[in-house]
Structure 1
């Protein structure tokens, strides 16, 4: 509301102006003071839109009040009220930015007209400020997408010049210099968490806080579970820079484990002294991160420790043939033995390019899918989606065995019954700690098999279904009970209130407290 402050050492003037005009009808809030010093204390804490003040008052004059107020709150408009026709006051008032003079005795119509005009200007300014705030908020919300799109486009463009890169950084509000950059490529190990946006956001905040204490840095989303951190370094020593960053990233990883109960794998690229070296350095960081295929999740790997890459061993297909032969002959005992031989062969290729090896691993899964005639019971999209979550050889082994088990047991009524039992268990026990692993143990199915079967049976991923059930139950509890938000959070199976709040808002568009 438009706020007006009246100041005069004569009580009848303040009270007369306060009562003579219907300020409520004008939607104006009026505060009257009989001394400038008291008014000053109020205005410093609660700056009004307009002040009408007498000039000649004891202790502090209207001029002194105006000068002190506008030094702190120059946006406050001031009108001087005086019975003196003195050019000195007018000249000083103009210098201080006074809006207008009103002469005593006061003309009420003149006061009302002046305040109405000032209120109209104030409302116009408020509307413009709100518009600017909304535009700024939209811009801030769009920055993550803008940065991700820039990263995607810039990879395939010509190497940037320093000037071009600096301009891009400024346009994306990245607090970075376009030289002496060190990239860190991160992949978050999703585990049982299904909401990748919130997970990535939480990891990003912790990382920027820890790394930012040592290096100016910024993070860019490079995928659902992937982040790229760019940091400016100062040391000319490659070893010192990489070692310092490794300490930061390991501290970041440990903090995520402690606070979020998840981990990540990180590849630290070679320092890029010049702008044109940045994207090759990023590619190197991502390439070394992929070595988690051999080393496991949670590794922090510097590119300077791994430069040698061997071609994928062509002997692997021979092992694959043994698996296929045993599978097609329904020699399932030999299939399991052949799979273990294959996995040992993969582990021994630790100097191979992980990306090439992953391509071969996926190709073999697709071959099993087609030659095992899995299309009768499994959509190929489900297979590829599952492989997208495979980042280590152990995880690949589980998926491979799960696929073989799913093909050979696709008509097994026990498998279908187990999947239905898991869905029913989630519906009844959503408040408990439920994971794919615990559910697979409950129904005596492998996690990979259960994951395949759940998606095929209900057309939704296991984790997504669990989240959907919990959010629906939270909505019910918020509207039908007097439980506090933190109590609802616990009752639907979440330990972290902030994570629950963010998740609820993402799925409903509202905060839990506003859903009541």
Structure 2
């Protein structure tokens, strides 16, 4: 049990010393942590030390004990008081009783009376702490049980096995009316991302915590994480909000993605299913979110897509339009002018062939311009000009505006690829060669050279014919071979010096690269040197 802290307040130094001696010698569970000669000093020390109990003299010059109690109660309401006075008057007792003070002892007090009063207050504090701790443990266990139950329920609805719980029952459990629900499938990173188990768990727990504060209009129930993807069930409270669920969903996504990018220097990709009024229909929403995320992952710059009842990506039209848009962005990134023109024509044909609504087509062009702007930003190309489309523009004007913009973008990409990109990649390669012994990640090196992880990875492989991980591994194994020639160095020492944390993993990677274990390589090298 924690020691209770006591503050003694009295304008008479002998009274303070006597009380301190009695209390400190009485029990190991209490200790005097300070003495104050007046009310003003008592207020300062109460704020600084936050004692559990204060022995407060009533009659003191300046701020008296009653005034001091009132001020301290405002600042630290949890502190208990034992009033000490040479005046046995009802008015004094009445004033401090109004402040919640229960103990009142007279000067001179016997040791027995002092300790009895202290014991009653201490027992009250200890009992309160026990009750609070029990309540906290109970709440913690209840929250954990509810969390497990919710996770299991989400898992059940994903495989379409939810038959035994309704929105009415969820309303009773959560204490709010639930009228509809929908699923977001959130990808926290690529399945093959080089993250440790602890890092993956950290991101998952972060998501659960942030959703509590972000999704104010919904109850968010987070399911288990599989291959860095997590299904989140959003339960809506007002039927009138269902029609605007996309607006609310986008607000949640943009807020969440902004926080995630700041914390992990990475972005979420999210597929969203449609809302349903019955719990046993939520599997449909999940299937829609799965298909939407599948389509989304084909396009590098989109952060989220809504699914429709047929499972296609509603925001991008059908799969043909989405694929044409992806090819167009890829051609722009490569700086291939002829391919850009070809893919732009294909995009326009598919878009106008499916849609006749002029406002929708204009909106699709504006969205494409935004995607291009994001792509340029990710590449590190400073190109701020984005064309505007007026309401009165006819279709040919819109198409010509788009084509002109694309040609201007291609030119800037070509200049960038011929100059800056080469320099950035060689800068990255040089950094890897000088820091192979550190815990390097693709994201860190990409940030170092000012490229997005996605494009850094793509450009690195295009330029050097191997992935970032393969190149880093090649450098580390090369250094390991050199280090193994020194018989004085242990395998563990070599492992750590080249950037690996696990000697067993280092041995597996070394064998995969060379066909020999580190020990076998060292023996072979030693025999070769002797001959």
TM-score using structure 2 length = 0.50
Cα deviation 1:451-507 (Å, max 9, x = unaligned): xxxxxxxxxxxxxx99xx95557xxxxxxxxxxxxxxxxxxxxxxxxxxxxxxxxxx
CA distance in 1, matches of 2:472, 2:86: 90
| Uncovered stretches (5+) of structure 1, i.e. residues with no partner | 171-175, 310-428, 445-464, 474-516
Per the TM alignment, residue 302 of structure 1 is displaced from its structure 2 partner at its CA by 1.0
Name the structure 2 match of 1:220.
222
Name the structure 2 match of 1:96.
99
CA distance in 1, matches of 2:255, 2:125: 50
Residue 152, structure 1, aligned to residue 155, structure 2: yes
Per the TM alignment, residue 178 of structure 1 is displaced from its structure 2 partner at its CA by 1.6
CA distance in 2, matches of 1:36, 1:304: 70
Cα deviation 1:135-172 (Å, max 9, x = unaligned): 555555666534311322455233754431223335xx
- Relative to structure 1, the CA distance from residue 62 to residue 247 in structure 2 (aligned partners, 3 Å threshold; closer, same or farther) is closer
Please point out which of 78, 82, 86 is paired with 2:89: 86
Could you say what secondary structure the match of 2:112 adopts? helix
What are the residue-to-residue correspondences of 1:157-168 with 2, within 5 Å? Answer: 157-158=162-163, 160-168=165-173
- Relative to structure 1, the CA distance from residue 254 to residue 43 in structure 2 (aligned partners, 3 Å threshold; closer, same or farther) is closer
Cα deviation 1:179-208 (Å, max 9, x = unaligned): 354431123422233445642642664697
Name the structure 1 match of 2:186.
186
Name the structure 2 match of 1:107.
110
CA distance in 1, matches of 2:148, 2:301: 27
Please point out which of 261, 264, 276 is paired with 1:260: 264
CA distance in 1, matches of 2:302, 2:20: 69
Name the structure 1 match of 2:485.
none
Could you say what secondary structure the match of 1:29 adopts? strand
Cα deviation 1:333-370 (Å, max 9, x = unaligned): xxxxxxxxxxxxxxxxxxxxxxxxxxxxxxxxxxxxxx
CA distance in 2, matches of 1:276, 1:27: 58
CA distance in 1, matches of 2:16, 2:289: 71
CA distance in 1, matches of 2:164, 2:147: 22
User: In 1, are the aligned partners of 2:10 and 2:57 still within 8 Å (CA)?
Assistant: yes
- Relative to structure 1, the CA distance from residue 100 to residue 169 in structure 2 (aligned partners, 3 Å threshold; closer, same or farther) is closer
Residue 63, structure 1, aligned to residue 45, structure 2: no
- Relative to structure 1, the CA distance from residue 118 to residue 210 in structure 2 (aligned partners, 3 Å threshold; closer, same or farther) is closer
Cα deviation 1:57-105 (Å, max 9, x = unaligned): 3333333333443345443222222222323333444443322221222
Per the TM alignment, residue 265 of structure 1 is displaced from its structure 2 partner at its CA by 4.0
- Relative to structure 1, the CA distance from residue 19 to residue 439 in structure 2 (aligned partners, 3 Å threshold; closer, same or farther) is closer
Could you say what secondary structure the match of 2:93 adopts? helix
Per the TM alignment, residue 220 of structure 1 is displaced from its structure 2 partner at its CA by 0.3
What are the residue-to-residue correspondences of 1:22-33 with 2, within 5 Å? Answer: 22-23=24-25, 26-30=28-32, 31-33=34-36
Name the structure 1 match of 2:253.
249
Could you say what secondary structure the match of 1:186 adopts? strand
- Relative to structure 1, the CA distance from residue 235 to residue 162 in structure 2 (aligned partners, 3 Å threshold; closer, same or farther) is closer
CA distance in 2, matches of 1:443, 1:2: 58
Compute the RMSD of aligned alpha carbons: 4.5
CA distance in 2, matches of 1:443, 1:11: 73
What are the residue-to-residue correspondences of 1:281-320 with 2, within 5 Å? Answer: 281-291=285-295, 300-304=304-308, 306-307=310-311
Residue 10, structure 1, aligned to residue 12, structure 2: yes
CA distance in 2, matches of 1:77, 1:236: 51
Per the TM alignment, residue 209 of structure 1 is displaced from its structure 2 partner at its CA by 5.0
CA distance in 1, matches of 2:181, 2:119: 57
Name the structure 2 match of 1:54.
57
- Relative to structure 1, the CA distance from residue 200 to residue 179 in structure 2 (aligned partners, 3 Å threshold; closer, same or farther) is farther
CA distance in 2, matches of 1:258, 1:20: 56
Per the TM alignment, residue 6 of structure 1 is displaced from its structure 2 partner at its CA by 1.9
- Relative to structure 1, the CA distance from residue 279 to residue 69 in structure 2 (aligned partners, 3 Å threshold; closer, same or farther) is farther
User: In 2, are the aligned partners of 1:190 and 1:262 still within 8 Å (CA)?
Assistant: no
Cα deviation 1:219-269 (Å, max 9, x = unaligned): 503333222334448796878642663475367557756753655542211
CA distance in 1, matches of 2:208, 2:24: 57
Per the TM alignment, residue 34 of structure 1 is displaced from its structure 2 partner at its CA by 1.8
CA distance in 1, matches of 2:92, 2:262: 66
CA distance in 1, matches of 2:299, 2:108: 88
Name the structure 2 match of 1:350.
none
CA distance in 2, matches of 1:432, 1:73: 47
CA distance in 2, matches of 1:202, 1:10: 59
What are the residue-to-residue correspondences of 1:363-442 with 2, within 5 Å? Answer: 431=438, 433=440
CA distance in 2, matches of 1:93, 1:247: 52
